[in-house]
Structure 1
Amino acid sequence: MHSFARTHATEVALIAVIAVICTVLSFATTNFFSIGNAFDLLNTSSVNIIFAVGLLVVLIAGGIDISFAVAASVVQYGTAIALGWIGGGGWVSGLVIAGSIGICLGAVNALLIHRFRIISIVATISTFNIYFGLLMFFTKGVSIYDLPEWLTDRVVLFEHEMADGSWIEITLPVLVMVLCVIATWVLITRTTTGRQLYAFGDNPEGARRFGINIGAMQFIAFGWLGLMAGIGGLVQAHYAQEVVPNALYGRELDVLAAVVLGGARLGGGKGSVLGCVLGVLLIAITQNGLNLMGVSPFAFKMIVGAIILIAITLSNTSIERLLPFVTQKGARR
């Protein structure tokens, strides 16, 4: 147990923080500590977790991308239009189209970064504005409500009636999220490509000398995030039952805060899927609790900003470095 705490210090710390926050909120609000609220949190957090595991791969590879949420909006519109052309389609064709568009948008970022040697944050700030500008120009800000029935029909995987007459349920977005989480975990922990991504993010020059294809690493990382953005965009359209051009605008900072909070290092070479998921849940739980307490949404934005600062500070000082000090101090006693 002690060795697990040392090797997974960030995840253990996040679990402890989540437990404390949940305990406080259960006393501060009447509706927070309930099964129904927990299931609602899981359903509503699914899209952000899908985005987060995609962003995790980019951060592990030493990059950063803030264009993925807008890219997901572009995917929503592109997929809706393409489905209209083919007569409606289904989940398979929808996911293939959405994933393909997302990968292409991610590849644009990788091309700018690798071929033109543009710093990743500068490149993605540029594509963020380009994608959003083009989206608003061509759509004129008009939402799409006429979507195929298979996309708007709610798919309930599990439901149960509570004693008070309310219903709890798990919907399709949760299943898609679980599959994306598992796929990302397999990619970064069980494949040679995953090990190369960690090595490249930790020491790009050493990885280059070792023979790792740097261009391939960039395209795989940003392409994976593009794939997750495409899937997340389609799932969001299913959840909302409409396509709104600016619905996902602004989520990039919340997701980035969650992933960095989960232990991913902005310098690359570090991060885990478990920490990433816990980071998203921590922010979602905090937002949910503040909403139930009637706190202004603007205050939550301030808290997210503080979380980013704290997470970056912790990623620089490293929680793991503190543990040996704590252990030694305890041994002396």
Structure 2
Amino acid sequence: MRKIIQSHATEFALLAVILLISLFLSLATERFFTLGNAFDLLNTSSVNIIFAVGLLVVLIAGGIDISFAVAASVVQYVAALLLESIGGGGWISGLVIAAVLGVSLGAINALLIHRFKIISIVATIATFNIYFGLLMFFTRGVSIYNLPDWLTSRVILFEHEMADGSWVEITLPVLVMVVCVIATWVLITRTTTGRQLYAFGDNPEGARRFGINVGAMQFIAFGWLGLMAGIAGLIQAHYAQEVVPNALYGRELDVLAAVVLGGARLGGGKGTVLGCVLGVLMISITQNGLNLMGVSPFAFKMIIGAIILVAITLSNTSIERLLPFMREGARR
């Protein structure tokens, strides 16, 4: 049991913090501890979780990407235009278009990093500005409201009638999120490629000497994030029932904070899907609770900044060092 706790110390710590925050918010607000609010949290967190599992793969490989949210905005806008040009299409064609566009944008980042030896954060700052600038220049900030019926029709997976006659529901984004989470878990834990990503992120030079294809690792990591960004962009358009060019702008820091808080190390070689999901849920629960309490949204930005600092500190200081009983168990 102690070994399990030691190997998943970050996840247990996050779960404990989430429970404490939830307990406080359930006492501080009347609406937090309700089924409707819980379902809303799950539905609204789905896109960020899809982003997060994609970013997790990049962080495991030792990179960093802050352009994925803007890339998703580009994907959803271009996909909407392409779907309109082919007469509307359907879910299969929509997902294929979004996936191809997303992977392509991720591959551009990988190319800049691998071929031109640009540091990943510098390369993605550049593409962040390029993607967003091009998007706003060509769209002039005009939103798309005339979307295909299949994209705007709500797909309800589960619904429940409350005592007051209102309905709460779990919708399609949750299912897509679950599929993306499982796919990422399989990639990084059940495949040779996943083990190579961890090895490359932990020790790039050692991985290179061992025969791991460095270029392939870069393209797989950033391509996977591009794939997740493309899917998330389409799902965001489905959830919002419109395409707003700057709707996803600014989410990159929230997602980065959540993934690092979930145990992913900025230096690479470390991170789990469970920790990643718990990190996003903690951020979402905190934001939801502050909204219900009527706290200014600017306060949430300050909290995000603090979380990033704490998460980076924890990524450099193992949880075991902070918990005495774990340190003692490790010595035995």
TM-score (normalizing by structure 1): 0.98
Structure 2 match to 1:21 = 21
2:96 aligned partner, one-letter code: V
Q: Secondary structure of the equivalent of 1:270?
A: coil
Instruction: Report the secondary structure of 1:253's partner residue.
Output: helix
Which residue number corresponds to residue 326 of structure 1? Answer: 325
1:331 is displaced (CA, Å) by 11
* Deviation string, structure 1 residues 70-125 (Cα, Å, up to 9, x no partner): 00000011100110111100000000000100000000000000000000000000
Q: Is the 8 A contact 2:263 2:270 kept in 1?
A: yes
The CA distance in 2 between the partners of 1:92 and 1:217, in whole Å, is: 28
| Counterpart residue type for residue 34 of structure 2 | S
Q: Distance in 2 between matches of 1:192 and 1:164?
A: 52
User: 1:200 maps to what in 2?
Assistant: 200
Q: Are 1:58 and 2:58 an aligned pair?
A: yes
Which shifted more, 67-76 or 311-320? 311-320
Aligned match of 2:129 = 129
Letter matched to residue 21 of structure 1: I
SS in 2 for 1:66: coil
Residue deviations 1:171-216 (CA, integer Å, cap 9, x gap): 0000000000000000000000000000000000000000000000
* Deviation digits for residues 249-283 of structure 1 (CA, Å, limit 9, x no counterpart): 00000000000000000000000000000000000
Residue pairs, 1:222-261, within 5 angstroms: 222-261=222-261
Q: Distance in 1 between matches of 2:181 and 2:173?
A: 12
Alpha carbons of structure 1 residues 222 and 37: separation in structure 2 relative to 1, 3 Å: same
CA distance in 2, matches of 1:61, 1:328: 28
Q: How does 1:125-274 map to 2 (within 5 A)?
A: 125-274=125-274
Q: Distance in 1 between matches of 2:121 and 2:321?
A: 28
Identify which range, 81-90 or 121-130, moves more after superposition. Answer: 81-90
Relative to the length of structure 2, the TM-score reads 0.98
Q: Which residue of 2 aligns with 1:311?
A: 311
Post-superposition offset of 1:329: 5.7
Distance in 2 between residues matched to 1:145 and 1:329, nearest whole Å: 59
Superposed CA deviations along residues 26-84 of structure 1, whole A, max 9, x for unmatched, are 00001001111111000000000000000000000000000000000000111001101
Q: How big is the shift at 1:4?
A: 1.2
Measured after TM superposition, the shift of residue 328 of structure 1 is 5.5
Q: How far apart, CA to CA, are the structure 2 residues paired with 1:177 and 1:44?
A: 11
Q: What residue number does 1:77 align with?
A: 77
Structure 2 CA distance, aligned partners of 1:83 and 1:132?
21
Length, aligned pairs only: 331
Matched residue of 1:283: which SS?
helix
Q: Sort the Cα spacing of 1:318 and 1:330 in 2 relative to 1 into closer, same or farther, 3 A.
A: closer
One-letter code of the match for 2:208?
Answer: R
Alignment correspondent of 2:117: 117
In 1, the alpha carbon distance for the partners of 2:94 and 2:256 equals 27
Q: How far apart in 2 are the matches of 1:238 and 1:327?
A: 45
* 1:105 has 2:112 as partner: no
Q: Distance in 1 between the 2:307 and 2:265 partners?
A: 14
Distance in 1 (alpha carbons) for counterparts of 2:35 and 2:4: 29
SS of equivalent residue, structure 2 residue 147: coil
Change (3 A) 1:330 1:136: closer
Letter in 2 for 1:215: G
Contact 2:320 2:326 in 1 (8 A): no
Residue 8, structure 1, aligned to residue 8, structure 2: yes
Shift of 1:322: 3.5
Unaligned 5+ segments in structure 1 are none
Task: Say which SS state the counterpart of residue 96 (structure 1) adopts.
Answer: helix
Change (3 A) 1:196 1:91: same
SS in 2 for 1:154: coil
Counterpart residue identity of residue 51, structure 1: F
Change (3 A) 1:150 1:187: same
Shift, 1:330, TM fit: 8.6
Provide the rounded CA distance (Å) in 2 between the counterparts of 1:294 and 1:89: 42
Q: Which runs of 5+ in 2 are unaligned?
A: none
Cα RMSD after superposing both structures: 1.3
Give 1:21 deviation, angstroms.
0.3
Q: CA, structure 1 residues 293+202, in 2 after alignment: closer, same or farther (shift >3 Å)?
A: same
Q: C-alpha displacement at 1:327, in angstroms? A: 4.1
- Residue identity over aligned pairs, in percent, reads 84
Shift of 1:164: 2.0
